[in-house]
Structure 1
């Protein structure tokens, strides 16, 4: 029976012959039979009614999300880097949505990152997590409570550290956006908070009239 070979399957058509080595010289007689030979196993023939398996979809994991250069939030304190003991110090974050385009597994990926929560470490052994970045308040902002303000109970210098969590959505080759499983954690540069104490006194003279008066000396903590 003749065999047909598909060139796409790397098959080679072989025509069989019969070799008679009992005579000199040996004779070669075509048998009329042929076969397909393959360098490895012959590919399985397609089964009617069964679709070929689809390629596995491209998935952007949290690990791949974390590899992207997501910009950390900026920490702002009001007034800048300064606060009073036992008073509310207003601190807030400035974070932005970001978009990245990169190649992954021979596909073009568009990834959008958006800030969703903020983990505050105030540097005094306490912390908080908020879903709002906070914002500025009018005036000097001394002892103004806000959703992201903090009361330091002792004086000193404290390094405030902020971790912003970003949710991600990605598109593969222009397809619909789908969410990344998990949130990317991005840590900001530490922010110095210098906390001082205050004292109240009634005086009849200012420091020009009486340089040695109460409150005219250099401040101490």
Structure 2
């Protein structure tokens, strides 16, 4: 609707049509043009051949993007939920590209979300931002440095959190894809990290031979 046509002021939006009397019955074809008329005004027909007013393009904003149910990344630690003080604990994320189809402003939108940045909060007062989600390593992974590993300086239990930023691209009614201005932040569920310490001793007997020997007692932090 014409933004200048206000019904409160008596304005009436008139949509112009073209009548063809050369056929019977006569046909009426919308011209795509409109005028705002007020009481007492004499209608003035639009100029023949004048271009119709263009509709504003449909834009998917960051706010609309963040309304989509984008699945959060899964946090994985190796070995599971466990690490050693001052050693590299391998922590990585599993995130996936996602696609959504929905109706918006009478148009069909296809929106693709892809993870691009990972913001880590290790729960010990330190943070890091990576562009890689990381991945598993072979073996027990104790003290194996990776692009997403972390060294805890103290023992204890820490809630590690992750915010993944997704970039979006959308298509309107099957048209070309275009980027969303901004990235959607999706927070993962906290991941518990239990950090322990180790001691080294030289012994001559194993725990079967000497159940009270060094290293045979219950583990402590």
Residues in 2 aligned to 1:141 and 1:43: alpha-carbon distance in whole angstroms: 81
Residues in 2 aligned to 1:103 and 1:187: alpha-carbon distance in whole angstroms: 26
Q: 1:8 to 1:170 in 2, by over 3 A?
A: closer
1:217: Cα distance to partner?
0.5
Q: 1:194 to 1:44 in 2, by over 3 A?
A: farther
Q: How many residues align?
A: 188
Q: Which range is displaced more, 199-208 or 40-49?
A: 40-49
Residues in 1 aligned to 2:180 and 2:44: alpha-carbon distance in whole angstroms: 37
Aligned pairs for 1:96-111 (under 5 A) are 96-111=96-111
- Contact kept in structure 2, 1:90 and 1:144, CA below 8 Å: yes
Aligned pairs for 1:27-176 (under 5 A) are 40=39, 44-47=44-47, 50-176=50-176
| Cα shift readout 1:84-122 (whole Å, capped 9, x = no counterpart) | 000000000000000000000111000000000100000
Q: 1:107 to 1:211 in 2, by over 3 A?
A: same
The yes-or-no answer on 1:220 pairing with 2:217 is no
Unaligned runs of 5+ in 1: 1-6, 11-37
Pair member with larger Rg: 1
CA RMSD of aligned residues (A): 1.8
Compute the TM-score of the two structures, normalised by the length of structure 2. Answer: 0.81
Unaligned runs of 5+ in 2: 1-13, 18-36
Q: 1:42 to 1:212 in 2, by over 3 A?
A: farther
| Cα shift readout 1:28-53 (whole Å, capped 9, x = no counterpart) | xxxxxxxxxx7855655323564222
Residue 203 of structure 1 is matched in structure 2 by 203
Residues in 1 aligned to 2:43 and 2:135: alpha-carbon distance in whole angstroms: 65
Q: 1:195 to 1:44 in 2, by over 3 A?
A: farther
Q: 1:44 to 1:144 in 2, by over 3 A?
A: farther
Residue 28 of structure 1 is matched in structure 2 by none
| Cα shift readout 1:196-216 (whole Å, capped 9, x = no counterpart) | 000000000011110110011
Secondary structure of the corresponding residue to residue 64 of structure 1 = helix
| Cα shift readout 1:37-91 (whole Å, capped 9, x = no counterpart) | x785565532356422200000000000000000000000000000000000000
Residue 31 of structure 1 is matched in structure 2 by none
